[in-house]
Amino acid sequence: MEASSLPAALELVVGGGVGLSPEKRAALGSSLLLLQRDYRFERVWFWGCIQGVRGAYYIAEGLGPDRAAPRSRLYSLNCVEWSLLPPATEEMVVQAEQLRGRFQGDPSFEYEYTEISAEDAERLFEDGKEPVIKEEARLVATIEQIDREVGIVPRRAFVKTPLGSVHENRHFEGLSLTEAKKLSSYFHFTEPVNLKNKTLLEKADLDPSTDFLDSLEHDIPTGSWAVQLEKGGAVVVLRSLLWLGLTFYHVPKTKQYGYVYFGTGEKNLDLPFML
């Protein structure tokens, strides 16, 4: 969610029983603006918080002119001092998927691989590396996974130019209440997968400038999103059941939308058996 509208945005998602203390909100309100100035980001998003056993990671994302470009991610342990995270790689994501259990809250904490073949272990030793992964790398990979799988935006909120860059749609005035209650009105804000498999007939009614992402209606497993009306029907809230703690909000007929994550950073692998 936008750092500039953080207090109001957090009020719209507190229905899930999550939020920040007044002290944390005040600290974030000033530190995120300084972060934007110091790193010269065009926009700063407060991504959320991953709660560890001994501490919590507060996450922010910095964006440039092209919204589809890789984002700069930073974390803080106290909402005041921020550290830049390294870019996520596929190797990091694969390694992090092998880990189970809570985060510790210490970036230097090292996990040992529980499932690793003898060949992979030998290759690591030959490269001068130990079969361990630091919590900082796990943090990067988890944020990347959550953004890929449940980071969403409303339909037509962004436009894709003929050159391939993605920008905010200045003509977007929000979804109607009827549209806002449909999963097909929301897109994954990441590289599309299902869209590439659609036939020309299925793409005939799509606008390539706005319908360039995958919608939520085909997410697997079916039923992984809970759609609710809150604040007397004035706010539409989507909650992910795959990554418990991810909450998206949108105020129909306005430009107010965003998502935030408050959780333990653990994927709900039991979801298919719960539906």
Inform me whether the pLDDT recorded for 92 exceeds 80.
yes
29 has a pLDDT exceeding 80: yes
Name, in order, each residue with C-beta under 8 angstroms of 47's C-beta and a sequence gap of 6 or more. Answer: 59, 60, 61, 73, 143, 260, 261
What pLDDT score does 126 carry? 63
Does the pTM surpass 0.85? The reply is yes
DSSP-derived letter for residue 164 is S
Q: 37: burial class by Cβ within 10 Å (0-12, 13-18, 19+)?
A: exposed
Token look-up 């659609």 returns: 198
- Four-CA torsion 145, 222, 16, 189, nearest 10 degrees: 40
In this structure, how many other beta carbons lie within 10 angstroms of the beta carbon of residue 205?
7
Instruction: Tell me the helix, strand and coil percentages in the chain, rounded to 5.
Output: 30, 25, 45
Could you give the CA distance from residue 231 to residue 235 in angstroms, rounded to a whole number?
6
C-alpha angle 69/73/74, rounded to 5°?
Answer: 160
Summarised one tens digit per residue, pLDDT across range 202-255 is: 666 677 788 888 889 888 888 899 999 988 889 999 999 999 999 999 999 999
pLDDT of residue 14: 72
Q: Which amino acid is at 173?
A: E
Given this model, what pLDDT does residue 250 score? 95
| Percentage of the chain lying above the pLDDT 90 cut | 52
Average pLDDT, the chain: 86
Q: Is the per-residue pLDDT at 184 higher than 60?
A: yes
pLDDT of residue 116: 52
- pLDDT of 35 > 70? The answer is yes
pLDDT reading at 11 higher than 70? yes
> For residue 46, is pLDDT > 70?
yes
- The pLDDT tens digits for 106-161 are 999 988 865 555 565 566 556 556 667 899 999 999 999 999 999 999 999 999 88
HSE-CB of 218 using CA atoms within 13 angstroms: 11
Q: What span, in angstroms and rounded, lies between the C-alpha atoms of 205 and 208?
A: 9
